[in-house]
Amino acid sequence: MDQEQRFLGVLGSSPFRIAIVYSIAFALGAVALLGAVYFAVSEVVDGSTDNLIEAEVQGLREQVLVLSRSDFIELIEQRSQDQDVRGAVYLMVDPQLRPVAGNVPAWPKIGADQGKWIQFKVAVPFGDETREHEMRAQRFPLPGGYRMLVGHDVQERQDVKQLMMRGLIVAVVCTLILGLGGGFWMGRRILAQAGAISAVAKQIMRGDLSQRLPVRDADDEINSLAREINGMLDKIEQLTLGMRTVLDSAAHDLRTPLNRLQSTAEAAMSQLAPASSERRVLERVSTEVDQMRSTLDALLRIALAETGTVARETVDLSELVASMVELYAPVSEERGIDLQSAVDADAHVQGSRQLLAQALANLLDNALKFTPKGGHIRVLLRGARGAPEVVVEDDGPGIPADKREIVLGRRVRLDEARKFPGSGLGLSLVAAVTKLHGARLVLDDAAPGLRVALKF
């Protein structure tokens, strides 16, 4: 199965296709070249025999005028026996077509429509056996109703032509075999290299930026291309790591003072009486720090997801979706919202379980926030084989069609949503996580409500 696929892969490869085109072109070239030679040679050989016959016919026509019949018969007999003139054939017949003289056993059958030249086969002794030889001849009438046939054995000529034709076919077949075989070999070679490159590219896409394309010693185009791509990857890795460093130091420089603020506020609070107004102020400070922290967390997670450097693992999407639904089921029941789910088993994706969980939690948080009491939320995981799709659907107010694109941008909160708490980063994080996993985020009208689909 695998081998068959690899074979089919080679057949579809571009080198093999190019080889097909070239072998056909070369084969056509061979046909043209050898064909031209064939026709030229035929012309020369045919022409010379035909001239020979014409001359002989001309000579005999003159002789018959001056010679008596018996002398003419003798002349024909002589010529027929002449060993110097190899391949010449003669036949003189009486009006009843009975042979009178010559070296052809019988007058050939001649169709009425045949012109000056006729061709027929004659059995000729060849060693111990006889062979049918092709003869080419002209005929002309003799006085007294007699007829004369003058021709030549063209079997040899025929043999040469056949040999040339065979040579031509062999040449074309060889060209095709060599061309296609070479193309197949080249296709396989290039496909192997391309396969190695695409395997590495996939790992890089998965976030492993340390991977490099394999480079062989050879100095061909593919190797120099691989070298250049590797150079580019070095640059990308550098930039991404740089970005990660910037993110880490930004995180550090924001989290450290926030932590001081939180510690200080809490330490002060522990010294104050529970209901004092000072304590209430500090409690507000602490709540604001929490809010800043959750915004900061969301921003950092979005940025991290966007660098694509988050480590990946095989995530059991079915387990994840089911457990998220289970996590949110009691709270939605408490709020009088009907949470339903249909989860196909055995859906797996490569990615970050924590980020996927966070994305799903954001979608569920949103759905709970905007769905009124008595509303419905549906969570679906469809298509376990190959391309799973996670759908979160509610029958809340939804998002107007013209605003669906912009809510995915960072910190966009629609006016209608301002009365609800939240950082406005929820969907942006979902979008970043979706992109990190090479999936598509589709917002749709659930009529009424919002349908969010993550298509892996």
Partner 1 sequence: MLSPLRRESNVPTKIGPRTVRYDAMHILIVEDDQVARDSLAKALREAGHTVDVAVNGLDGLQMASALGIDLVVVDRMLPKLDGLALVRSLRATGRKTPVLILSALGEVDDRITGLRAGGDDYLTKPYHMAELLARIEALARRGDSGGDAITKLKLADLELDRMTRRVMRAGKKIELTAREFQLLEFMMRHSGQVVTRTMLLEGVWDYHFDPQTNVIDVHISRLRQAIDKDFENPLLHTVRGAGYTLREDD
| Site residues (vs partner 1, CB under 8 A) | 244, 247-248, 251-252, 255-256, 258-264, 266-267, 270, 286, 289, 293-294, 297, 300-301, 303-304, 310-311, 323, 326-328, 330-331, 334, 352, 354-355, 357-358, 361-362, 364-365, 368-369, 421-422, 426
Beta carbon of residue 353, minimum distance to partner 1 (angstroms, whole number)? 8
Residue with smaller CB distance to partner 1, 158 or 295: 295
Question: What stretch of H or E contains 57?
Answer: helix 14-66
Q: What is the amino acid identity at position 450?
A: L
User: Are the beta carbons of 151 and 138 closer than 8 angstroms?
Assistant: yes
Beta carbon of residue 453, minimum distance to partner 1 (angstroms, whole number)? 21
Residue with smaller CB distance to partner 1, 108 or 422: 422
Beta carbon of residue 324, minimum distance to partner 1 (angstroms, whole number)? 8
Q: Dihedral sign, CA of 442, 447, 450, 451?
A: negative
CA R_g for the chain:
47
Residue with smaller CB distance to partner 1, 42 or 295: 295
CA distance linking residue 425 with residue 451, whole number of Å: 18
Beta carbon of residue 179, minimum distance to partner 1 (angstroms, whole number)? 53
| Cα distances (angstroms) measured from residue 136 to each of 90, 107, 148 | 11, 13, 14
Q: Dihedral sign, CA of 107, 111, 113, 118?
A: negative
Residue with smaller CB distance to partner 1, 35 or 330: 330
Beta carbon of residue 322, minimum distance to partner 1 (angstroms, whole number)? 11
Residue with smaller CB distance to partner 1, 293 or 382: 293
Beta carbon of residue 451, minimum distance to partner 1 (angstroms, whole number)? 20
Beta carbon of residue 414, minimum distance to partner 1 (angstroms, whole number)? 17
CA distance linking residue 94 with residue 76, whole number of Å: 14
Tokens 């409500």, residue located: 449
Residue with smaller CB distance to partner 1, 227 or 369: 369
- Judged on CB neighbours under 10 Å (0-12, 13-18, 19+), 114 is exposed
**Longest Cα–Cα distance in the chain:** 159
Residue with smaller CB distance to partner 1, 189 or 244: 244
DSSP three-state, residue 401: helix
Beta carbon of residue 435, minimum distance to partner 1 (angstroms, whole number)? 15
| Structure tokens, 107 | 């007058």
Residue with smaller CB distance to partner 1, 351 or 388: 351
User: Are the beta carbons of 179 and 186 closer than 8 angstroms?
Assistant: no
Beta carbon of residue 397, minimum distance to partner 1 (angstroms, whole number)? 18
CB atoms within 10 A of CB 363: 25
Residue with smaller CB distance to partner 1, 81 or 270: 270
- Judged on CB neighbours under 10 Å (0-12, 13-18, 19+), 187 is buried
